[in-house]
Amino acid sequence: MIPVPRILLAIADVPLRRSVAEHLRATAGWSVTEATDAAEALGRARDHDLAVVDEALDGPALCLRLREDGIVLPMLLLGPAGTPRCCGIEAVVSKPLRLPLLVTRIRDILARRSNVSVGRWRFDEGRSVLDGDGGALVRLTAKETAILGRLHRAAGQVVARETLLGEVWGYGAGIDTHTLETHIYKLRRKLGGGVLVSENGGYRLSSDPT
């Protein structure tokens, strides 16, 4: 039996939140947990597959706090068109909100995250694991999961070191740290040779690991 996706809905406006929750349940059949503020979202985020966060609750800051708690959760932000995507925000849906578009965007994100091949592994971002042949299973830390997810979404393009430090740890430009390199080293050992490539001051995933 395919599990029902679990959606965390963090919207302060009560009528809007209830309207969205009812639509997601009735139209898509998803399990929806409602949160009125960032603190409640943090307390209820674990074991969800995706969070829909209103701009009023500061999605990027909420995402960083979730990761500090070891929770890696893709986020869809309700905000102005053109809002930069960062720190786990995979899509932005502008307001006034069109509910059919919101459902489509959520479906797209869930589909991308459930069928991800990285080298010889299937990367399950929601569970923070690498699944291999013969039942092989490698567990990832929250930071390793965030790094690998960001590199996968870059579709083979180089992601700059500063970008990863900013999106995964919230560090500003010019920070002097070996934190990223330490995590990259450990991630490479788990993935195997040739998958995670250093290039032009950043990192990318190879489509043809050797």
Choose the most confident range, by mean pLDDT, from 29-38, 73-82, 102-111: 29-38
The answer to whether the CB of 130 falls within 8 A of the CB of 118 is yes
Count CB atoms within 10 A of the CB of residue 12. Answer: 13
The answer to whether the CB of 59 falls within 8 A of the CB of 37 is no
The answer to whether the CB of 128 falls within 8 A of the CB of 72 is yes
Give the number of domains in the chain: 2
Whichever domain contains 169, its CATH number is 1.10.10.10
73-to-50, 51, 81, 123 alpha-carbon distances in Å: 6, 7, 22, 14
Q: In this structure, are 155 and 98 located in the same domain?
A: no
pLDDT, mean of residues 132-145: 87
Q: 90-99 pLDDT, tens per residue?
A: 888 998 889 9
Q: Is residue 208 part of a domain?
A: no
Q: How confident is residue 11, by pLDDT bands cut at 50, 70 and 90?
A: very high
Looking at the chain, list the stretches that DSSP marks H as alpha helix, in order from N- to C-terminal side.
Answer: 14-23, 38-44, 59-68, 99-114, 142-153, 161-164, 179-191
Is 80 exceeded by the pLDDT of residue 137? Answer: yes
Final residue belonging to a domain, choices 114, 148, 167: 114
Please tell me the predicted confidence (pLDDT) of residue 75.
86
Final residue belonging to a domain, choices 97, 114, 131: 114
What size, in residues, is the chain?
Answer: 210
Which pTM was predicted?
0.64
What's the CA gap between 15 and 127, in Å, rounded? 32
Range of the domain at 108: 6-114
91: helix, strand or coil: strand
Q: In this structure, are 13 and 107 located in the same domain?
A: yes
Is 90 exceeded by the pLDDT of residue 117? Answer: no
Q: 178-200 pLDDT, tens per residue?
A: 899 999 999 999 999 889 999 99
Please tell me the predicted confidence (pLDDT) of residue 72.
76
Region for 174 from its dihedrals, namely left if φ exceeds 0, alpha if ψ lies in -120 to 50, beta otherwise: left
Q: Is residue 210 part of a domain?
A: no
Q: In this structure, are 188 and 122 located in the same domain?
A: yes
Count CB atoms within 10 A of the CB of residue 59. Answer: 28
Q: In this structure, are 128 and 189 located in the same domain?
A: yes
